[in-house]
Amino acid sequence: MKQTTRPQQVVDRLAERWLEADRESKRQPVACKLGREPPRLRGGGCSVCTAKQEFEVDQEVAQLINAGAFKSTGQCPYQVITNYLIAGLSFGPEAFRARSTGQYRADPVVEIKGALKRIHTVTKATKLTHEDIEALSDKDEWWEALNLVFSAEHALENALALFRSRPPGKPRSIRGPAGALHIQTVARAMADAWRALTGRLPAKDNEKFHNLLAVAVATIFGHPAKEPNWESATRTAVERMKNEAASKDLMRGK
């Protein structure tokens, strides 16, 4: 299948979905009912699910839901998958490895500028300065929350300046087998999501996870000309996650 949408366009749409879901959850919190009610025969969701199945990865998630692959966590699998994909592609360890070699798939400047544009909508609507908001922040939770938004805006502006100060370089495309950074980025994100939805990391030769990973990669980057070694990609992601967890445990023990 030929990809008709550029990777950044898919990432942008996933980010929009994440923001839409976040706003909706704050307006009217609704917990996912998977595992808490009789399973539906079809549809790939629970009785309160409003998720859109617009990408291949959404259709794969629907199949996994129908197959009972996910535990009852109170979290919508569509949102969990979207959240980890956005986080992984933008700021995950593999994404930073890609940036360190000049390989960009999700440009932090573009992502932060988009986030600032949406945050500006909130800060400008108050018609108050950060100092005014800060003085009111101890009055109630509303003003405290707005103060945090202003602080986040300031922090993102500083981060944007630092990213922009990076010497320009010609981005190189990310290609190659299972060890390629773009595949490892998605593998790490999907392994994180799998753990959140099942309570465990993907095991060896987990065909369901391999299918999810393959479809996630295809959704973002298109179908690869040569089939990568999904088991190798999964094993690498899991090993790195375990090593990082062990390092954190060691640091805490000191």
Q: Is the pLDDT of residue 156 over 80?
A: yes
Round to whole Å and give the CA distance between 17 and 21: 6
Task: Indicate the pLDDT class of residue 187, thresholds 50, 70 and 90.
Answer: very high
Query: Domain locations in the chain?
Result: 7-96+175-253, 106-164
Distance CA 251, CA 125 (A): 44
Euclidean distance between CA atoms 120 and 110, whole angstroms = 15
- Length, in residues, of the chain: 254
Q: Is the pLDDT of residue 209 over 60?
A: yes
pLDDT for res 42: 62
According to the model, what pLDDT value does residue 29 have?
78
Spatial contact of 212 and 60, defined as CB atoms under 8 Å apart: yes
The predicted structure's pLDDT at residue 77: 92
Please give the average per-residue pLDDT across 175-201, as a whole number. 82
Distance, in Å, from the CA atom of 236 to the CA atom of 254, rounded to the nearest integer, reads: 27
- Average pLDDT for 96-124: 71
Q: Give the C-alpha separation, 200 to 98, whole Å.
A: 27
pLDDT at residue 94 is higher than 70 = no
- Summarised one tens digit per residue, pLDDT across range 10-65 is 888 888 888 787 777 777 777 888 877 776 666 678 888 888 788 999 999 999 99
Q: Which two tokens stand for residue 60?
A: 């794969």
Please tell me which residue, 179 or 77, carries the higher pLDDT value.
77
The alpha carbon torsion through 15, 21, 22, 27 (nearest 10 deg) reads 150
pLDDT at 216 over 90: yes
93 versus 126: the higher-pLDDT residue is: 126
Q: How many angstroms separate the Cα of 238 from the Cα of each of 189, 202, 244? A: 11, 8, 10
List, in sequence order, the alpha helices (H) in the chain.
7-27, 56-66, 77-91, 93-100, 108-126, 130-136, 141-164, 181-198, 207-221, 230-253
> Average pLDDT in the 100-116 region?
67
Q: Are 145 and 123 in contact (CB under 8 A)?
A: no
CB of 237 within 8 A of CB of 187?
yes
Please tell me which residue, 165 or 96, carries the higher pLDDT value: 165
